[in-house]
Amino acid sequence: MRSRRRRFFDKHAENWDSHPEHRNLSKVVEETNIKKGSHVCDVGTGTGVLVPYILKKIGKLGRITAVDYSPAMIEKAKAKYHFENVEFLVADIHKTQFPDECFDYVICNACFPHFERKKIALKEIYRILKKNGVLVISHPAGRGFVNKIHQNAGGCIRKDRVPTGSVLGRFVRKHGFQPEKIIDEPEFYFVSAIKS
């Protein structure tokens, strides 16, 4: 199944920047309240749509490690951005090669429903986040919009659903995170939680 999803996103890489879900991206970063000099892992970066917004917050001393399991997405992101403090990697968040407790923030923007084994992904995120580090799961176009797009797209992503914010809050709490902020509005979805 994962290889089918990878092929799906590889196929859509060329036109990914014009995807209708890529609105309110600056709001995701604003709500995250990223501190200057932070090391941020941008999971499911796609073509790096969130990167410029994160860069404004972290400054020159901060770093971004942007990962996606779609090689075509990462290839396009690398062609777009050339910053010394941004690294793009083909990687699967279910199992990474990152050291323990190396990130201040892990942002999963517009990708969490596509994680096939969410419990394992959260366990890995917990491992790579520093103590008191922040996990963010966001969908800047809103839950209903995303669920409708996935259903209409069919195929391997048809059942990839975004749960209500309260359900997701309870889910991350079971995996060692303390929910901090939950926004579940028609046009914006954001859940942040602290590694306790």
Question: Residue 154 — pLDDT band, cuts 50, 70, 90?
Answer: low
How many CB atoms are located within 10 Å of the residue 14 CB? Answer: 12
Neighbour-count burial for 91-122, b at 16+ CB within 10 Å, e otherwise: bbbbebebeeebbbbbbbbbbbbbbeebeebb
Task: Write out pLDDT tens, residues 100-147.
Answer: 999 999 999 999 998 999 999 999 999 999 999 999 999 999 999 887
pLDDT at 170: 98
Least confident stretch, 85-99, 154-168, 178-192 = 154-168
Task: Write out pLDDT tens, residues 33-44.
Answer: 999 999 999 999
pLDDT at 196: 86
Q: What is the arithmetic mean of pLDDT over 75-91?
A: 96
More confident residue, 156 or 71: 71
CATH of the domain at 117: 3.40.50.150
pLDDT at 179: 98
| 8 A C-beta contact, residue 64 and residue 42 | yes
Task: Write out pLDDT tens, residues 42-60.
Answer: 999 999 999 999 999 999 9
Q: What is the mean pLDDT of the chain?
A: 89
Q: Domain range spanning residue 64? A: 2-195
More confident residue, 182 or 7: 182
Secondary structure (DSSP) of 27-69: HHHHHHTPPTT-EEEEET-TTTTTHHHHHHHH-TT-EEEEEES
Q: Does the structure show a pLDDT above 80 at 20?
A: no
Question: Residue 97 — pLDDT band, cuts 50, 70, 90?
Answer: very high
Q: How many domains does the chain have?
A: 1
pLDDT at 1: 45
